[in-house]
């Protein structure tokens, strides 16, 4: 089974999906759901505290946006640390930071909005940190033959965290108060501890760091063989250790094609998604003259459509590939949101065209994230993978902040944090969001690389090397 011609990573990639794999994936998904619960619960907390504490608009804005800023910083910092010190323990630490920051909000004294904002920064830092590590760990942990569908599918239940925040607040807020609601933020500490105890370190990352004995131990346990029967390091092992120890964040810039691909698609996707959920409810209310409750029911349909889209974009890459699905996501956003902006004042079958077009648009601006989430971990080599995902999450966070700023400028309002939609601003605003989708599609067309069915590069990206050198990347031992 373990002939000398086969390297350790190739053997490990043939391992079956054993119970430990499924438990590890379940823990990672559960932690992500709770992290998103902690991240989004703040909207309900601030809704209670703003009148109680007599907060100004500026104070509430800082409280709401601090987590977003923290997520950007956390993604960049933790991505660099994870490439140097490992995946598993930093994932557990990121989840724990999020939980401690979120739960500690329950002990904030009355009117201490600055302390509240600081703790929310820690929550965001933890969410960004965990995301920048969880994605590469899961991608590196999953065998190539299953990677495309399984790493996409784990994105589907993450949106349950937002739903859980809404339902918990609706059911329990009056019973346990805002402090009791905030105290639920401690729950992710449990999966953080279990991840530290159960989940294995990435074998691929261990190999890039020259830690072959540890890699052989994990691979041997997974394959059900003695670690001593597995191949050890070849003469290139020392070179791998030297190269790995000398990497820095600037190495991402050495791959300008992948760097700009990551920034464009994540910034565009985040801006389009957040723009719809920011302005959509207000526009629907203006167009139909209905109550916020009726609008909320419509957006439940849009959210469910997004889940359908995430399921579809988990399966389609298996046949079409990630690059082609990225194009479908981008051009689908451009066409659907652009049409919603152009024909917002028309009707289709007696219903406002804006609403009719917004529902299928969710298949793309929300569903496409299932294909997009693992992509940044796949296009960069393992030694840079966490930093690549950190870059993606930072662009994601910047898009969430920049989106409202751009829409505010389009609408001509001075409220840059939560711009008020007007009928006159619908067309230019949604043409702008459609333009973000067009940028995603063009980026995949001209910069995208295909990762479906291809092994992960360890040290260098194969698409940037000559054919002979690219082949040698996959034989590091």
pLDDT tens digits, one per residue of 152-205 = 998 888 777 766 776 777 777 778 888 888 898 898 899 999 999 999 999 999
What does the block give as tokens for 416? 């840059």
How does residue 216 score in pLDDT terms, banded at 50, 70 and 90?
Answer: very high
Per the CB < 8 A criterion, the answer to whether 365 and 333 are in contact is yes
How does residue 87 score in pLDDT terms, banded at 50, 70 and 90?
Answer: very high
pLDDT for position 162 = 67
pLDDT for position 333 = 96
How does residue 12 score in pLDDT terms, banded at 50, 70 and 90?
Answer: very high
pLDDT for position 449 = 94
Per the CB < 8 A criterion, the answer to whether 346 and 169 are in contact is no
SS3 351: strand
Alpha-carbon distance of 337 to 334, in angstroms, equals 6
Residues 6+ apart with CB under 8 A from 151: 135, 138, 139, 142, 373, 374, 377
Cα(first)–Cα(last) distance of the chain, in Å? 17
pLDDT for position 38 = 76
Say whether both 299 and 216 belong to one domain.
no
Alpha-carbon distance of 299 to 281, in angstroms, equals 7
Q: How many other C-beta atoms are found inside a 10 Å radius of the C-beta of residue 117? A: 22
pLDDT for position 467 = 40
pLDDT for position 291 = 60
Alpha-carbon distance of 206 to 137, in angstroms, equals 11
Say whether both 242 and 132 belong to one domain.
yes
CB contact burial 428-454 (16+ within 10 A = b; e otherwise): ebbbbbbbbbbbbbbbbeebbbebbeb
What's the average model confidence in pLDDT over 315-339? 96
Alpha-carbon distance of 378 to 380, in angstroms, equals 6
pLDDT for position 42 = 75
Q: Is residue 123 part of a domain?
A: yes
pLDDT for position 173 = 75
What does the block give as tokens for 236? 């290139």
Alpha-carbon distance of 194 to 62, in angstroms, equals 34
Per the CB < 8 A criterion, the answer to whether 42 and 113 are in contact is no
Q: Is residue 149 part of a domain?
A: yes
Say whether both 22 and 156 belong to one domain.
yes
Per the CB < 8 A criterion, the answer to whether 126 and 97 are in contact is yes
Q: What is the CA radius of gyration of the chain?
A: 23
Alpha-carbon distance of 182 to 44, in angstroms, equals 10
Stated as kind and residue range, the H or E segment containing 272 is helix 256-288
Q: Is residue 180 part of a domain?
A: yes
pLDDT for position 474 = 38
Residue whose structure tokens are 């907060």? 55
pLDDT for position 435 = 95
How does residue 241 score in pLDDT terms, banded at 50, 70 and 90?
Answer: very low
Q: Is residue 474 part of a domain?
A: no
Alpha-carbon distance of 341 to 277, in angstroms, equals 15
**Domain-terminating residue out of 198, 213, 246:** 246
Q: Is residue 27 part of a domain?
A: yes
Out of 268-272, 366-370, 473-477, least confident range: 473-477
pLDDT for position 414 = 55
Say whether both 456 and 399 belong to one domain.
yes
Residue whose structure tokens are 């960049």? 76
Domain with residue 437: its CATH number is 1.20.1250.20
pLDDT for position 167 = 73
pLDDT for 2 beyond 50: no
Number of H helices, E strands in the chain: 22, 2
pLDDT for 344 beyond 90: no
pLDDT for position 475 = 35
Helix axes 189-198, 88-104, angle to 10 degrees: 170
pLDDT for position 164 = 75
pLDDT for position 282 = 65
Say whether both 306 and 170 belong to one domain.
no
Alpha-carbon distance of 285 to 294, in angstroms, equals 9
Stated as kind and residue range, the H or E segment containing 352 is strand 351-352
Per the CB < 8 A criterion, the answer to whether 366 and 306 are in contact is yes
Say whether both 364 and 446 belong to one domain.
yes
Q: Is residue 475 part of a domain?
A: no
What does the block give as tokens for 428? 């230019």
**Domain-terminating residue out of 195, 214, 246:** 246
Say whether both 136 and 214 belong to one domain.
yes
Stated as kind and residue range, the H or E segment containing 160 is helix 160-183
Q: What is the pLDDT of residues 358-398, one digit of tens each?
A: 889 999 999 999 999 999 999 999 989 999 999 999 999 89
Q: Is residue 414 part of a domain?
A: yes
Per the structure, the complete domain to which residue 353 belongs is given by: 250-463
Stated as kind and residue range, the H or E segment containing 179 is helix 160-183
Say whether both 29 and 84 belong to one domain.
yes
Helix axes 113-141, 42-52, angle to 10 degrees: 180
**Domain-terminating residue out of 189, 215, 246:** 246
Say whether both 120 and 88 belong to one domain.
yes
Q: Which of 101-115, 178-192, 325-339 has the highest mean pLDDT?
A: 325-339
Say whether both 204 and 292 belong to one domain.
no
Please give the tally of structural domains in the chain: 2
Per the CB < 8 A criterion, the answer to whether 152 and 314 are in contact is yes
pLDDT for 240 beyond 60: no
Average pLDDT, whole number, for the chain?
83
Say whether both 264 and 339 belong to one domain.
yes
What's 108's DSSP letter? P
Out of 34-43, 79-88, 113-122, 252-261, least confident range: 34-43
pLDDT for 420 beyond 60: no
Q: Taking the alpha carbons of 242, 243, 244, 247 in that order, is the dihedral positive or negative?
A: positive
What's 465's DSSP letter? S
Say whether both 78 and 220 belong to one domain.
yes
pLDDT for position 329 = 97
Q: Is residue 396 part of a domain?
A: yes
Q: What is the pLDDT of residues 284-296, one digit of tens each?
A: 766 666 665 566 6
């Amino acid at each position: 089974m373990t002939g000398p011609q086969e390297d350790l990573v190739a053997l490990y990639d043939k391992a079956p999906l054993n119970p430990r794999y499924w438990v590890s994936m379940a823990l990672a998904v559960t932690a992500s759901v709770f992290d998103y619960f902690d991240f989004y619960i703040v909207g309900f907390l601030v809704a209670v505290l703003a009148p109680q504490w007599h907060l100004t608009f500026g104070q509430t804005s800082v409280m709401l946006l601090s987590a977003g800023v923290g997520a950007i910083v956390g993604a960049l910092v933790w991505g660099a640390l994870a490439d140097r010190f490992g995946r598993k323990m930093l994932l557990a630490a990121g989840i724990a930071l999020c939980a401690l920051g979120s739960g500690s909000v329950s002990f904030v004294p009355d009117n201490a909005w600055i302390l509240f904002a600081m703790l929310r920064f820690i929550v965001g830092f933890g969410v960004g940190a965990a995301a920048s590590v969880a994605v590469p760990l899961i991608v590196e942990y999953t065998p190539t033959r299953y990677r495309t569908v399984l790493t996409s599918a784990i994105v589907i239940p993450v949106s349950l965290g937002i739903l859980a925040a809404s339902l918990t607040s609706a059911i329990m807020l009056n019973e346990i108060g805002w402090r009791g609601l905030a105290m639920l933020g401690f729950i992710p500490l449990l999966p953080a501890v279990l991840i530290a105890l159960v989940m294995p370190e990435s074998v691929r990352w261990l190999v890039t760091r020259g830690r072959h004995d540890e890699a052989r131990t994990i691979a041997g346990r997974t394959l059900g063989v003695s670690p001593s029967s597995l191949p050890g390091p070849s003469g290139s092992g020392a070179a791998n250790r030297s190269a790995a120890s000398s990497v820095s964040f600037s190495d991402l810039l050495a791959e300008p094609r992948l760097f700009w691909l990551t920034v464009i698609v994540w910034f565009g996707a985040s801006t389009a998604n957040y723009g719809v959920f920011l302005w959509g409810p207000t526009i629907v209310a203006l167009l139909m003259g209905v109550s916020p409750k009726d609008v909320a029911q419509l957006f439940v349909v849009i959210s469910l459509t997004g889940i359908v889209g995430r399921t579809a974009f988990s399966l389609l890459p298996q046949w079409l590939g990630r690059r082609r699905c990225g194009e479908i996501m981008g051009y689908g956003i451009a066409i659907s949101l652009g049409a919603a902006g152009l024909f917002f004042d028309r009707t289709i079958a007696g219903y406002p065209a804006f609403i009719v077009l917004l529902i299928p648009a969710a298949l793309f601006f929300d569903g496409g994230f299932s294909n997009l989430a693992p992509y940044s971990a796949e296009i960069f080599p393992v030694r840079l993978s966490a930093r690549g995902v950190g870059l993606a999450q930072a662009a994601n966070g910047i898009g969430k902040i920049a989106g409202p700023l751009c829409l505010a400028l389009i609408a001509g309002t001075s409220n840059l944090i939560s711009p008020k939609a007007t009928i006159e601003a619908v067309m230019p605003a949604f043409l702008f969001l459609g333009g973000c989708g067009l940028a995603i599609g063009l980026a995949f067309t001209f910069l995208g690389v295909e990762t479906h069915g291809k092994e992960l590069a360890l040290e260098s990206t194969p698409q940037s090397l000559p054919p002979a050198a690219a082949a040698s990347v996959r034989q590091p031992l």
